[in-house]
Each structure stands twice: as structure tokens, then as C-alpha cells.
Structure 1
Amino acid sequence: MWLELGTALAAFAVALPLTGALRLPTKRGRRGEVMPRIGGISILAGFLAAPFIMAAFSDQAREFVSEDRRQFLMLGVCGGIVCAMGARDDFRDLDWRFKLGTHVLAALALYLSGFHVEKMTLPGGEAVSLGLLDPAVTVAWIVLVTNAVNLVDGRDGVAAGMAAMVSATMSYIAWDLGHDLIAMLFAALCGACLGFLPFNLGRARRFLGDSGAYFLGFTLAGLSVAGSLDETGRVPLYIPLVALGLPVLDTAVAFLRRFLDGRHPMHADFDHFHDRIERLLGFTGLRVTLAVYALTAVFCGAALLAHTWYKSVGSAVVSAAVLAFGIGLVLALGYGRTMWNSARMLAWRGRAPAPREGNTG
């Protein structure tokens, strides 16, 4: 693991001073001051530079980068496009259709460059060939995670810290499966996030912005497709899905409750997991962030257990436990009551008229 640790350190060394050097103001922060919201630039730079820095000092790293340079550069290009689009949105709000279309095109380009799911290994070891569904599943996964990470970026340090934890977890899993370049890239993403975090925790002086959140989600999704390959070439996609359980679950709940309330699923609101944690538990500031980190640690720990017991009944048990934990979390945060009393549910129960289609609330 020394190669991965060195890569993370190199990414940290690039991202930390670059984040501090950012001086370009965009939107106003929550306290009214104008501050940079393009943290994705420093994370992107750290992620791209770290493997080449390691290649300059390590023959092994140079070999890994040389063998799969085309796919690495394609990931960087597609991730850079998503980051640039997010940076544009940080300056001037873009229509959700344009953003979603950019995500789909970037994901499709990544698929065409060789990032495929192809076969899914289910908990317990059974493999399912996707066939003609492969491009749809791959693109849908990348787009889902890209937007899921952006949706949880509602408090200082949440998205970057969560991405660092997931990246570290997946770096170990990729290393254990013998995918050294993917393990290096996950480590680079982790180190870049850690280089950004000192400026984003507590009283934040830099914001991640859509540029950073979209880039993190896109890169995590792309690397998880490549980094979960086992020795047979199958992808146990449930392992990165478990690691990313918190943002994916938050996104699923957000879309469902908006639909049930007769609102557009792509229109933002302030009722995500971190919002509920703040309101229901009375947490503020750093305590909300630490609560999200604790929940992320549970999902990452479960992903490690699922990987350890891969192709055995243990992985199925872990997956079932994660599902139960997720349902319990949703209910504990009060979403069950919210959705039961939503506009559409009340109408279906004969308690109120159905909302009009297109109502955005």
C-alpha cells in the first residue's frame, strides 16, 4: 500500500496550496461574505497530478500509468468537462436539463472509452450478464452518483470528507483485487479531498461548489466501475453501492418525496439527510458534518465486510443488514411520516385532491 499512500500524499501536496491560492470569488456564502466556490479546480489538479508525480519517483507507478494511460486521461478529460460545467454553474445558474445532459454525454464518453459494468456479481457470488443493458446501467450509475454527491453537499466539509472516506475504502478494495492503477487513482482522489478539507471545515474559507461536487461524484462512479473488477472480470457493483450508500439513499429519498409531494424531482429543496439531522437532533455546524461522517463510516465499514466475504453468504448478510440500516435511518429521520402525509399519498388515500401535474410547489 506504500504506492497508494505516496499517491495520496502527492495529491494532498498539490491540492492544499492550490486551494489556499484560490482567490476568484463567485457566489456569497451562508454568512453573506463573497468567497470562492470552485474547489473542484484544486481537487481536479491534485487528482491528475499525483499519479505522474509518483511515476517520476517509482518505476512501478510509471508502469501502471503507462499501461492504462488512455483510460486515465479519458477519465480526466470527462471529469474535467463535468468540473468545468459545474464551475460555470457556480458563476451563473444553469438549467438542470443542460447539466443533466452534460453528465449523460460525459458518462457515455467514459463508457465508450472502456469503463463498463458488463456483468454484475450479486451478493453471494452469482453473476448476471447485462448484455444490451450494459451501456444504460453504466451511464445511469455514473449519472446517479455524480448528482448524489452534489445533493449531499449542503454543509461545510460534508461532500469532500465523505468522498475522502469512500475513496480510501475503495482504494483498499481495488488494491486487494490487484487493480493497482485504480487503487492509486482512488488514493489520489482521497488525498486531493484531504488537501481541500482544511479550508472547508469549521468556518469555511473555500466552498466545494458544483465544480467540485460533480467532479467528485463522477470520478467516484467511474473508478468504482473499474476498481471493483475481480479476477474473473465481473463487477460486484454492490460493494461501491454500499460504500456510497448514504448519498445514493439520500438521492432516492429526495426524488421519491418530491414526486409524492407533486414537485419536480430535479428542483432543489432543504430537506436532505443533513438538513434533517440539523433540525431533528439540534446539531449545528461541525456536529452535522461529523454525524454525516459517522454514517458514512458505517456504510464504508459494511463495504469492507462485503468485500471480505465476497462470493459467500456473508456478503448477502451484510447487504441485507445495510438495507435494514438504510430503511431504519430513513424512518428515524422522519421521512416515512413525511411521505405518508404527502400530497399524492393523501390523494390516493382519499384524503385530499391529487396535485396538478407540473406543480413544483
Structure 2
Amino acid sequence: MSDYAIPAREYALVFASALIVTFLLTGVVRTLAVKVGAVTPIRDRDVHRTPVPRMGGVAVFAGFSVAVLMAMNLATLGSAFRTSSEIMGVLAAGAVICAVGVLDDRFDLDAVTKLAGQILAAGVMALFGVQVNRVWVPSDEPSGGSLVSLDQTQSTLITILLTVILVNAMNFIDGLDGLLAGVALISGLAVFAFSARQLYLSANDTAASQAPLIAAALVGACLGFLPHNFSPARIFMGDSGAMFIGLAMAGATISATSKLDTSTFGPRTTIAFLAPLIVALAVVFIPILDFLLAVIRRTRKGLHPFSADKEHLHHRMLSIGHTQRQAVLIFYLWAALLAGSAVSLAFVDLSRYLGIYLLVVGGGLVLAVTCSAWPRVRAARLSRRQRQDTRAAESALPTPSIGHPS
């Protein structure tokens, strides 16, 4: 067991700083967004009915940046800057992608321009050393496998691809008030838990403290923004926020996976290596599922697969009887179930506790499915009860007598 002590107070300070700065700046950004005309118009497929300012990502990025730069002067977390350029890379890339998002929030950039900005930001992050530079290959060795190094071109391409996927997934999920901020908060907590565990086991402040620092600042910024964004929202993330959150999530995930070695988790390195990647998949699960269902649905109707409609998952949740807040909370539950079950793999010895693990995950799955379908179940029960009451009332009526001729 490691004797290393996680600098919990310093992480708490980073979290609190991001939360407070983001919360205070969001009102200022809202006023600015209204003045510059960065306001979301009302479209047929939208669930809001009044114009709402966007560009909230500026406050999220500012809170994140202030918290991270403040950490540079802390006794323990300061080592994350002295031994690696990853943190500065996430900040530089975040500034690029947030600027692209602000332009889109105001002028509605075309898809090609936004994609170019995303690739540029991902490239900047890779240039600062945030790269998927090794791949874990499982084997029958006592260590459970071995690490295979990637060359510079492979590392850069995989990093850009993963970052662009997460950026667009976050953008795609931003369909209900508070949904993106909450899902990102939950996913950030999962990444922090895993990377802090990795830091504790390795006891290496210089090589393993970057990922938990990024995650702590991101979680604080998302929580600071959520009171302004939860239904009914007073301001939206906009592309400036959605794309930055996706990039920060990619930076934390890549940083965590790139620091894994066999001495940290031993025979469980295979599971540990997959855990942060599964968390990333948990983030994109809902939007990717929604996207695939949308493509299938539109293609079957003879429509263009990327045409707009009102049948996304969040639209369906509303149509079966959930309020917008209930739908968002259910999506939070699904995100917590997926991310939590993934990260717990780094903490739980499945050879000893597989049954308990499956029981807990299975129970969470039953709860999530039940909550998701409850309005439909309740409507079916009410309809059945009404039919029974109707039949009972009809059977209670007196049978009309038939007169006989005299």
C-alpha cells in the first residue's frame, strides 16, 4: 500500500476556485452575449420557447483557466507544470477552440470551418505533449501485458481523432437545459477518481498529477455554470462551452492513459488502461446512440440522414411524459451508471468481488430503465385501471326488464 498522500486540500482549492469564478462570471457573460447578439433563435425542434443568450462557454473556460493557473503556485500541484507542458497545452488549445466557439455562437460558422478549428486545437494540444503515445497490449505475462510505443505521426493522429470525437459528442448532447454541464460534471468526477487513484498508487507528483488537476478544474467550472443553465436556463453553453468541455475531457483522459505503466496497477493494468477510455465512451454513448437512431429513422423515412427533426432521445423523453428536469436527471443517472461502472474497475478486484460488482451495476441498470420508462408504465396502469372501473360500473347497472304482452 502506498504511503503517498493525495493533496486533497489543493485539489479542493482548484475545484472551489473554478466553481466560484465560473459562477460569478456567467452573469457578466450573459449580459455581454445579449449585447453582441449571441442569442439562440427559436427553431421548430428546440424545447425552449424564448430566445436565450449563449456563449456561456467563455465563463466556463475562464473559471477553468483561473483555477489551473492558480494551481501553478501551489506547493504540490505546482510540480505538474514544472515537469510537463500538458497543462499549458490544454489551456492553449482551450483558448483556440473557445474562440472558434464564440465566433460560431455569434455568427453560426459552417461545419467545415468548425471542424478545421477543432483539428487545429487538437493539434495544438498534441504539440504540447498531450498525446496517446503508448498502447497497452494484453498478454499472458505476469504483468498482464506490455506497452507498445507509437511513433509521432500515429500519436498525433490518434490524439486528434479522439479529441474531435469528444468535442462533437459534447456538442451533440447539448439539447436540454443543464444536460451537458451535468453529464460533463459526472464524467469529470469519474476521470478525477481514476487519475487520483493512479496518482496515489504511483506516488509520482511529477508524472501523474496533470490529469486529476484538469479534471478537478473542469468539474468545478461545470458545477459553477450549472445553476445558470439548469431548467429554466438563463444562458446556454453554446459551442464555446461544448467544444471546450470536450477538449478538456480529451486532455484529461489522454493524460491519464499515457501515464499508465505495469508498476502502477500490476496484473490489472489491462482493466486500468481501459477504464478512462470507457469513461470517454460513457460520455459519447448517449449522443452516439441518439445519432445512430436518428440516421436509421431518417433513412427509413427516405430523408437525408443529417436532416433535423424532433425525435431525438431528449424529445422522446419529453413526449412520453417526462418534464425537462426529469429527463435531464435521468440522463444524469445513465451517465453516472456508465462512468461509475467503468472507473470502479480500477478500484474493485473482480476476481474477488465480481458478484457484488455485477449486482450493483445490474441494480443501477434496472433503476435507470425503470426511471426512463416510468411515465409510460404509469400511463398504462392508469389506462388499465380506468378500463376496469368502466367495466365495474357497467356491471353494476340494473339489467333492463323485458315487458310481456297481456
| TMscore range, shorter length | 0.7 to 0.9
Q: CA deviation at 1:121?
A: 3.2
Distance 1:67 1:2 in 2: 21
State the SS of the aligned residue for 1:79: helix
Relative distance call for 1:299 and 1:134 in structure 2 (3 A) is: same
Match of 1:279 among 300, 319, 322: 319
In the alignment, what sits opposite 2:285? 249
State the SS of the aligned residue for 1:116: coil
Following superposition of structure 1 onto structure 2, how do residues 1-361 of structure 1 map, counting pairs within 5 Å?
1-22=8-29, 23=31, 24-25=33-34, 26-28=38-40, 31-56=48-73, 58-68=74-84, 70-121=85-136, 125-127=144-146, 129=148, 131=150, 133-178=154-199, 179-228=208-257, 229-232=259-262, 238-260=274-296, 261-262=298-299, 269-280=309-320, 282-309=321-348
Q: CA deviation at 1:255?
A: 4.4
Distance 1:249 1:230 in 2: 24
Q: CA deviation at 1:77?
A: 1.4
Q: CA deviation at 1:311?
A: 9.9
Distance 1:204 1:123 in 2: 46
Distance 1:255 1:164 in 2: 22
Q: Would you say the 8 A contact 1:107–1:143 is kept in 2?
A: yes
State the SS of the aligned residue for 1:43: helix
Distance 1:313 1:97 in 2: 50
Percent identity between matched residues is 28
Relative distance call for 1:74 and 1:269 in structure 2 (3 A) is: farther
Relative distance call for 1:174 and 1:269 in structure 2 (3 A) is: farther
Aligned positions, number: 323
When the two structures are superposed, what TM-score results if normalisation uses the length of structure 2? 0.70
Bigger mean CA deviation after superposition, 228-237 or 103-112: 228-237
Query: RMSD of the TM alignment (CA)?
Result: 3.2
Return the letter of the residue paired with 1:110: M
When the two structures are superposed, what TM-score results if normalisation uses the length of structure 1? 0.78
Distance 1:128 1:62 in 2: 28
Q: Which runs of 5+ in 2 are unaligned?
A: 1-7, 42-46, 200-207, 374-406
Deviations 1:34-56 (A, max 9, x none): 43201111110111111232444
Q: Which runs of 5+ in 1 are unaligned?
A: 334-361
Relative distance call for 1:215 and 1:88 in structure 2 (3 A) is: same
Name which one, 1 or 2, has greater alpha-carbon Rg: 2
Distance 1:277 1:31 in 2: 15
Distance 1:59 1:198 in 2: 32
State the SS of the aligned residue for 1:207: coil
Bigger mean CA deviation after superposition, 255-264 or 44-53: 255-264
Distance 1:169 1:258 in 2: 28
State the SS of the aligned residue for 1:120: strand
